Amino acid sequence: MNISSDESLARPSVVIGGGSGIGLTVVSKAVEHSKSVSVMDLHAQRPASLSPFPDVEYVQADVLDLEALSAGFAALAERGPIANVFVSAGITLPAPIDQVDPSDAQRCLMINLMGSINTIKAVLPHLANDASIVLAASAAAYTGGGYVGGSIYGASKAGVIGLTRGTARELAGRGIRVNCVAPGATSTGMVGDDPAIVARLTEGTLLKRLATPDDIANGVAFLWSSAASYMTGATLDINGGSHLG
């Protein structure tokens, strides 16, 4: 199976939180295969990061705003049913439980978990019947976080894994597959470039390097492709072995 020529990847694709980091890298891969790639993100203006991709449609939507998401997907689906979805939108929260501000904890849980719930609810009426949804979990779901995300972040991502499994069960009747990627520490703005933190995170992997956004985007492309047509409810670990401790 040659993923690069896979017809599933040529279908309409939407990346939520595609304005930066892993989502942006998924966009850069998707446009190699599909003429219909769209991005939803928080920013009122189309982010400059999308300049290399003039054909990518941009829609502003906060994943906490179900109405905005629904209107956005309805507009995008005028080009045809949506086949591939990646929910990259998320935030981290390093604060440990004894120091965390409850409103920060709630915001992290809401964006990371409720945001995925809202996105799936909003996109459902506009999905092709054999669509592929990929959510962003994290190795922090297993490890309980560490230097970048703390226990609340880990809990939000454990929730994403549960949501993946439950929605895979509920949507299989329409042929819709739902999977998630669980990245380890990945070189994006979320991790930052503090040398001490990068060194500790690197040391925690078996392969002795952080993930690149490309490593994670390859996993998303695989889960969108027909090579993964018998996968649903799965968590794809892409973490250089960091989950093995």
Ligand X SMILES: NC(=O)c1ccc[n+]([C@@H]2O[C@H](COP(=O)([O-])OP(=O)(O)OC[C@H]3O[C@@H](n4cnc5c(N)ncnc54)[C@H](O)[C@@H]3O)[C@@H](O)[C@H]2O)c1
Site pattern 162..181 for ligand X (x: CB under 6 A):
--------------------
Comparing CB distances to ligand X, the nearer of 10 and 110 is 110
Candidates 2-10, 19-27, 165-173, 224-232 — which segment interacts with ligand X by CB under 6 A?
19-27
Q: Is 188 a residue that touches ligand X (CB under 6 A)?
A: yes
Comparing CB distances to ligand X, the nearer of 9 and 122 is 122
Pairwise CA distance, residues 235 & 178, whole Å: 10
Locate tokens 């439980």: which residue?
97
Comparing CB distances to ligand X, the nearer of 12 and 17 is 17
Other beta carbons less than 10 A from residue 207's beta carbon: 12
Cβ 212 vs Cβ 26: under 8 Å: no
Active-site annotation, residues: 153
Nearest to 61 by CA among 12, 18, 106: 18
Q: Is 22 a residue that touches ligand X (CB under 6 A)?
A: yes
Tokens of 180: 């998630």
Report in angstroms how near the CB of residue 243 gets to ligand X at its nearest: 11
Comparing CB distances to ligand X, the nearer of 27 and 171 is 27
| Full DSSP string of 140-186 | HHHH---SSS-HHHHHHHHHHHHHHHHHHHHHGGGT-EEEEEEE-SB
Residues 51-90 that bind ligand X (CB under 6 A): 62-64, 88-90
Q: Is 48 a residue that touches ligand X (CB under 6 A)?
A: no
Report in angstroms how near the CB of residue 204 gets to ligand X at its nearest: 12
Q: Is 138 a residue that touches ligand X (CB under 6 A)?
A: yes
Burial class (CB in 10 A: 0-12, 13-18, 19+), 199: exposed
Tokens of 142: 């297993």
Residues within the interface to ligand X (CB under 6 A): 17, 19-23, 41-42, 62-64, 88-91, 111, 115, 136, 138, 183, 185-186, 188-191
